[in-house]
Structure 1
Amino acid sequence: MRIVDAVMVVLKENGSLTSKEAYEKIIDKIIYEFGALNPVNVVNSIIRCHCEGLNFPSSSPVKYFRIVGKKGKHDLYSLLESDESVNVLCTEKTSSSEDDLLPEERINMSYLSYKKTLKTQLIDHILECHPIFFERLVVELLIEMGYGSDGKALGKSHDGGIDGVIYEDKLGLSKIYIQAKRNDLSNSIGRPLLQSFVGAMEDVQKGVFITTSTFTKEAQKYADKQQQKSLKLIDGDLLAELMINYGIGLEKIKSYVIYKIDEDYFE
């Protein structure tokens, strides 16, 4: 069953309804399961696409409904035909599909899919680069995020070592140590590496462990319960997310603005 079929069912049973009332009746009868963020708008859009007398570029040439009046400031809709043209059985609840989403919701879904692909591409590029490049990248990222006024990669990639340092003040009195592990996704970071990192930090209290892969559950528990140091873990997914948010290693090509109608303006 499509949304338009569900609307036809509730209009046949109730005569005339606003789009919001039609949505509520569909929910009450449990004949359709909406996945959209704003299902009332979806129902309204579907009705108007199939409404007699409403012709716009995205409207359907097939008409099922007509406007029969007003309820407050909202249109009342009824079936175009009052005969037995609606023979849709209501025995099965149907889930929503992408076709039921509003255009802006489709854009959001497409963007999330694009972003997921972009994250994978970023990690793939990092894995192809030299470890020292990765150390410089994470230092640049943390500074761009506002953690300190200066920093440097130390160029000593080895277990338990310090790969980079961020100076939180211009005199370098407060530091953040960094360990950067450029690992394949199948090679997770375990607790022993975190323990070695904490030991190498000595008197520095803040540390960030960054990897292109993931952390084991034991490593995460160790970091969460760490009382000697303030330790932050950044895995590959979060690393790619932060790189996108702060534009590291990316070039902006195009951006789009999504609008919505200002209902107050038309009052």
Structure 2
Amino acid sequence: MTNRIQWVRQRLVSRGLMYSPAHGVWAITEKGIKRVAEADGQGPGPHPAPEFPDLVQLYEDYEEAFEQKLLQSLLDLTATEFERFSKELLRVYGFVDLQVTGRTGDGGIDGHGMLRVGLATMNVAFQCKRWQDKVGASEINAFRGAIQGEFEQGIFFTTSDFTKAAKELSIKKGAVPVILLNGKSIVKLMMEKQFGVRKRPLELYFEDVRSVLEDNQ
């Protein structure tokens, strides 16, 4: 609920309907007062015809809010659930023989599997961090050290993000490459494959009265 209120408030600020005169204080602008008066039927003069919303803008606003909701759903998972979720996401993208290790003291390897690339098969390990703080270079180094020599690639999942140093370290000459997937990337992959989400088609109507007259001249 707090995130939704913050999102609505930010939308009002961006449209010039609200402003913050001091920290923690929010007030309505003159434009906002006029908008409220018009909505209540108290505005001056005849009311103009209602404006239809910009569908593209509405869609972009909805998509942004939906992505935040998806990310929060990932944060609500337990650490074990996030590991299982990551395993199933890899399965959707063609990985096979996937297993969650469920062990401690394994150098940070939470699971592993295989991916066929052409005629070759690549052994891949993955690690999952259901964090809010950013993942740093030390975590990438530790993960790479655990998989070096046994796996050809690593995948690091996190619900948060990676520091600049961690991103620079993910691809290192002569070392096992580590693919970094932050919260936003995971959400994008979910939507791309409709994994953990459902899509519903909507029917939209558009005014086209003139075409009737033109077609029957």
Settle same-fold status: TM greater than 0.5: yes
**Structure-1-length-normalised TM-score:** 0.51
**In structure 1, what is the equivalent of residue 184 of structure 2?**
237
3-state SS of paired residue (1:174): strand
Residues 1-267 of structure 1 aligned to structure 2 (within 5 Å)? 106-146=54-94, 148-156=95-103, 160-169=107-116, 174-184=122-132, 187-203=133-149, 204-252=151-199, 254-256=200-202
Distance 1:107 1:158 in 2: 52
Q: Report the RMSD for the aligned CA atoms in angstroms.
A: 3.0
Structure 1 counterpart of 2:55, one-letter code: I
User: Is residue 106–residue 146 contact of structure 2 (8 Å, CA) maintained in 1?
Assistant: no
Report if the CA contact (8 A) 1:151-1:164 is conserved.
yes
SS at match of 1:224: coil
Hey, what's the Cα distance between the residues in 1 that align with 2:106 and 2:57? 40
Task: Find the aligned partners of 2:97 and 2:204 in 1 and give their Cα distance.
Answer: 37
Q: How has the CA–CA distance of structure 1 residues 200 and 247 changed in structure 2, closer, same or farther, with 3 Å as cutoff? A: same
**C-alpha separation between the residues in 2 aligned to 1:163 and 1:227?**
23
Gaps of 5+ in 1: 1-59, 62-98, 260-267
- 1:180 is paired with a residue whose SS is strand
List runs of 5+ in structure 2 lacking aligned partners. 1-47, 206-217
Rg bigger for which structure? 1
* Deviation at residue 218 of structure 1 after TM alignment: 0.7
Quick one: distance in 1 between partners of 2:186 and 2:104? 18
Percent identity, aligned pairs only, is 29
In 2, are the aligned partners of 1:136 and 1:153 still within 8 Å (CA)?
A: yes
TM-score norm. by structure 2 comes to 0.62
